[in-house]
Amino acid sequence: RLPDELDDLTGTLVEPLACALRAVEHANVTIGSRVLILGAGPIGLLALAAARRAGASIVVSADVNPARLSVARAWGATHAVNPQHDDLVAILHHLTGQLGCDSAIDAVGLPVTRRQTVEAVRPGGRAIFLGLHQDETAIAGNLIVRSEITVQGSYCYGQADFSTALRLLQEDFLPAAASWLTVRPLAEANASFAQLIDAPGDITKVILRP
């Protein structure tokens, strides 16, 4: 049940924010943490906001969509990287004194982003797989063993995450919904999904209204 002061548009964000909060908790993000988030779609952006809330000092957002990287900068990413043009792992090592990130969260779910998640973290770091896309992924097993990297999945949320998400939204934790959400009629559902998959442009998240 939504409180009276929370509009239904903002209310749609409780569930995805809860998922992001859980992933950041699994990543053990604390004050001063250096974090990579792969993907600047809705879940990646919400994980970015959650990581900043947890005290991360460096939050690198990586995406191949320049418009989404601009949104990530506006949300507080300290660095925004397009892996199609730049060597992501090299940039991360430069930012962290050649150590690597304390944790990395893959909010995409492709084999390439899962590999980058593992390769980006320091010895003893945490690689969190949050995105669900392709199933099988080959990752650097010897690197995981030698660097004692923890690889963990993050799926959905617990009740505490859901309650925290609702409270944060009541506290205006996120940018105004109207500034980054696109509202369309339910009849445009198929076209909206196709656009988000094939050519999202500057669209971040679509809300469908019956």
Contact 43, 20 (CB under 8 A): yes
Q: Mean pLDDT score of the chain, rounded to an integer? A: 95
Over the stretch 87-142, which tens digit does the pLDDT of each residue have?
999 999 999 999 999 999 999 999 999 999 999 999 999 999 999 999 999 999 99
Please give the distance of CA 145 from its chain centroid, rounded to a whole number. 26
Could you list the beta-strand ranges (E) of the chain.
Answer: 34-38, 58-62, 79-81, 101-106, 121-129, 150-153, 181-185, 205-209
Return d(Cα 89, Cα 200) in angstroms, integer.
26
| 3-state percent breakdown (helix, strand, coil) of the chain, nearest 5 | 45, 20, 35
Over the stretch 38-80, which tens digit does the pLDDT of each residue have?
999 999 999 999 999 999 999 999 999 999 999 999 999 999 9
Range name among 120-124, 126-130, 175-179, 204-208 with the lowest pLDDT average: 175-179
Contact 175, 152 (CB under 8 A): no
Return d(Cα 207, Cα 209) in angstroms, integer.
7
What is the rounded average pLDDT of the residues 170-194? 92
Question: What is the reported pLDDT for 54?
Answer: 98
Return d(Cα 85, Cα 134) in angstroms, integer.
23
Question: What is the reported pLDDT for 201?
Answer: 83
Return d(Cα 18, Cα 99) in angstroms, integer.
30
